[in-house]
Amino acid sequence: MFNETFIQSPIKFLEAMIGTLQSPDALSDYNQFWESEGINISTAVDRAGTPWIKKYDLHGRQIDEIVYPPDYWRMLRQGYQAGTVWRAFSNSLRDAYQFGYLTSFYDTGLYCPYTVSLATAAAVDKYASGEIRDTALHHLLNEFGANWQGATWMTEIGGGSDLGASVKTRATLIDPERNLWHLNGEKYFSSNANADIAVVAARPEGSREGVRGLALFLVPRQREDGTLNVTLRRMKDKIGTRSVPTGEIELNNSEAYLLGEASHGIYLIMEVLNLSRVCNNVGSIALAHRAFLDAYHFAANRQIFGKRLIDQPLMRRQFETRCHDLKRGFCMAWETVKLLEEIWKEPAPHYSDRFHYFRLITHLAKYWTAEFAVQTAKWAMEVNGGQGTLAEFGVERWLREAMIVNIWEGPPHRQMLDGLEVMERKRAHETLFAELGNYADPADLEAIQARIEALLALPQDQREAEIGDLFPFLANWTADLLLKKYEGEKIAI
């Protein structure tokens, strides 16, 4: 049954789903900022459109400064100070992701800078060394909001799915003793384009072709002499998520430092990507929650045919169904957070079965939660009718943002193919059945096991073609079982 108090605020929702929050006072303070100031700032940034680039300072020095209204930077620093990044290292990943949920409820695009900064810090923590590691972490994990921002720049003009073919950026070793390299190339979709430091995919000279020849590098925004190390060519004019600056980056003999071993680069790249996918899962559900709540406020106050819109039988049923699905989606997203906390320190390439199980659940959750965000945002517009199409009321914004969230970190077909790969090569579905089988109907469990094995027995082309039918079913089945599991456990924190 739909319970209106359940969704009245992001904090109430988190409490209902999780129970005791780890940092309730800090979450409350952060929420208060959003309610008193952040909403208006966020709305103004979205309505202002694409920010512009100030290329040079008064003396003709290239600075590539992204120009937002001053309040934008204050809004951005609130999240860093609240702990969207540093809490993952000082407290727990779960604590940081609760602040991420709150951020994305109010501004999904703004969660991207925190996401890529967290992913950068995680890569640095595991794979950088010496002074580079210590300096970068000191600045990335600053608790007072005056921290460095990170970024994850992988995608080039050829696309992001086939990195082995599309990454043309070349890396040349300049100083072996200092682990100093030069990178030359360009990145076509670079979120958080004004980052102070970024992890960047490139191909060392002489390395093999394909994904096995890629390595991951740490690239600061400024060279050691204080000049710009990367060039911001232009900004992307997106339909939404305007609170994260996305641009095209040129690398011209850009100073860089190799992370980990060059031969392990693809593993490091996928670790960064999967961490961001978990953020995307959490952010998608928060976005859907916000769209749901906007629909509720309209329906609860709209009179039609003598009663409130929300009291009409069909509309009431839709709210009940969406609320149930919101809980299912949160359970999927939160399961990826919990699993990530188990495995995120495992070094490449020696991963456990739990790591591969995390991968499968993350692909299922990324597919399900992002699709749910799109459909819920679309439905919220429909509930609002003509008012939902008007920019002045903000409901249409959630659909614009949801369409980008659905593509970030790989669109639905990419999740299907990557999920298929981890079932083929790592048999991760067997861990899925072992973990959740007790919550399933025995006949249903046996049927889905047989269905997966039948799919895996097909020729490769047919297998890839037919995963599109199985994957949505498997994602829904997993969501149902996780809700049963969490209703019994109350998602113990």
Can you give the pLDDT at residue 249? 98
What is the separation, in whole angstroms, between the first and last Cα of the chain?
Answer: 26
Share of the chain above pLDDT 90, in %: 92
Does domain 266-489 fall into CATH 3.90.1300.10?
no
- Of the chain, the percentage scoring pLDDT greater than 70 comes to 98
User: Could you give the angle at the alpha carbon of 135 between the alpha carbons of 152 and 173, nearest 5°?
Assistant: 65
Same CATH topology for 152-263 and 266-489: the answer is no
What is the number of alpha carbons within 13 Å of residue 339 lying toward its C-beta? 28
Is the pTM higher than 0.85? The answer reads: yes
What is the bridge-based pairing of β-strands 197-204 and 170-175?
A: parallel
Is the pLDDT assigned to residue 161 strictly greater than 50?
yes
Omega within 30 of 0 (cis) for the link into 349: yes
pLDDT reported for residue 6: 78
Task: Take residue 481 and report the two structure tokens written for it.
Answer: 């079982």
Residue 492 confidence class, pLDDT cut points 50, 70, 90: very low
**pLDDT tens digits along 285-339:** 999 999 999 999 999 999 999 999 999 999 999 999 999 999 999 999 999 999 9
**Residue 125 pLDDT more than 90?**
yes
Residue 296's pLDDT is what?
95
**Worst-scoring range by mean pLDDT, 16-20, 75-79, 261-265?**
16-20
In the predicted structure, residue 178 carries a pLDDT above the cut 90:
yes
Q: Could you read off the pLDDT of 433-456 as tens digits, one per residue?
A: 999 999 999 999 999 999 999 999
Give every CB contact of residue 237 below 8 A, 6+ residues apart in sequence. Answer: 49, 50
pLDDT of residue 2: 56
The pLDDT of residue 19: 85
Question: For residue range 207-219, what is the model confidence (pLDDT) as tens digits?
Answer: 999 999 999 999 9
In this structure, which CATH number among 1.10.10.10, 3.20.20.80, 3.50.30.60, 2.40.110.20 belongs to the domain 152-263?
Answer: 2.40.110.20
pLDDT for 154 beyond 60: yes
CA distance 141 to 451: 46
pLDDT of residue 159: 81
Q: Given a cut of 90, is residue 488 above it in pLDDT?
A: no
Q: Please compute the mean of the pLDDT values over residues 338-358 and round it to a whole number.
A: 96
Q: What is the pLDDT of residue 146?
A: 76
The structural domains of the chain, with segments of one domain joined by +, span: 4-140, 152-263, 266-489
Q: Tell me how far apart the alpha carbons of residues 114 and 99 are, in angstroms, rounded to a whole number.
A: 10
Q: Which tokens sit at 69?
A: 């209204």
pLDDT of 7 reads 85
Quick one: average pLDDT of 210-232? 95
12-58 pLDDT per residue, tens: 999 999 888 999 999 999 999 999 999 999 999 999 999 999 999 99
pLDDT band at 1 (very low <50, low <70, confident <90, very high): very low
Average pLDDT, whole number, for the chain?
A: 95
- Find out whether 229 and 219 touch, Cβ atoms under 8 Å: yes
Q: What angle do CA 192, 194, 198 make, to 5 degrees?
A: 70
Q: How confident is the model at residue 493 (pLDDT cuts 50, 70, 90)?
A: very low
pLDDT band at residue 96, thresholds of 50, 70 and 90? Answer: very high
- Number of helices (H), then strands (E), in the chain: 17, 11
pLDDT of 160 strictly over 80: no
Q: With bands split at pLDDT 50, 70 and 90, how would you rate the model's confidence at 490?
A: low
pLDDT digits (tens, 9 = 90+) for 409-421: 999 999 999 999 9
Average pLDDT over residues 368-380: 98
* Confidence bin at 112 (pLDDT 50/70/90): very high
Buried b (16+ CB within 10 A) or exposed e, 358-381: bbbbbbbbbbbbbbbbbbbbebbb
CA distance 56 to 63: 5
